[in-house]
Structure 1
Amino acid sequence: MSESDRTRAIDIVRGHPTEEELAALIAVISDSYVREAADAVAEEPRVSAWQRTQRPMRTPLRRDIPWGRFAG
């Protein structure tokens, strides 16, 4: 389902707005929603597929520590 196929609901909890007031409210909210959706796009990282798939290499084993971590 695309974004344009979804419907939005506005619940009026107080007062009795006129049709003109509701139309103004819908226009302002729609404009704000479009602007927010346009600004909310995440930028793609600028790394290659090769860099994304590579795991960091493990540091070499320390040979100065004896096996079992004790020298007795």
Structure 2
Amino acid sequence: MSDEEAKPVLRVVKGDLTPEELAALVAVVAARNAAAAHAAARAVKRPRSEWGHPARLARTPHRFGPDQWRRSAWA
């Protein structure tokens, strides 16, 4: 058994906790750890998808000329 496996993660120094109180304490500490890990994961910047960019809603002005109704979908 290595030293890391033998070390307790949480140790109660004072008081006499019931099993229910200890379970509540462990749940609170675990929830706080999970929230911190979630916040750290969300802090990582990911590239923004261009599919939902508002500039895609703006279209170029319609140009008049022969066959422009077909080319208007590509511009």
TM-score category (smaller protein) = 0.3 to 0.5
What's the TM-score, normalizing by structure 2?
Answer: 0.45
What's the TM-score, normalizing by structure 1?
Answer: 0.46
Report which structure shows greater RCO (CA 8 Å, sep ≥6).
2
